[in-house]
Amino acid sequence: MENPTPDGPRFLTVGAKGDEFQLVLWPGTPGEAQPALGSPPPCVTFVTDDCRKTVEELKSRGVEFVTDVLEFPWGCVAQFLDPDGNRLQLREGR
């Protein structure tokens, strides 16, 4: 699936039909992806049925979010940092 972003770059997701695992192909040099929406892309994405609810639950447990919930035609995302500073993401599809 091709996924455009509001500020220009696009990314692709690929996976085997019937398998929940998807690989995201992001333009740029490995380990040095160009920022989109003002920040680097996350290294891991977790799928949730309700992004806003999950964000609130994780915030109540002390998780630091680096974005608000961002809306896209294909769904919404919110990015946060793990204790080591890695950028992670929640995603809810439509």
Domains and CATH numbers, the chain: 2-14+22-93 (3.10.180.10)
Question: Average model confidence (pLDDT) for the chain?
Answer: 79
Separation of first and last alpha carbons in the chain:
14
* Contact assessment for residue 86 and residue 39, using Cβ atoms and an 8 Å cutoff: no
Letter string b/e over residues 31-41, b meaning 16 or more CB atoms within 10 A of that residue's CB: eebeebeeeeb
Q: How far apart are CA 14 and CA 21, in angstroms?
A: 9
Confidence of residue 34 (pLDDT cuts 50, 70, 90): low
- Which range has the worst mean pLDDT, 14-28, 37-51, 63-77? 14-28
With 0.75 as the threshold, say if the pTM is over it.
no
Q: Which two tokens stand for residue 22?
A: 């998807």
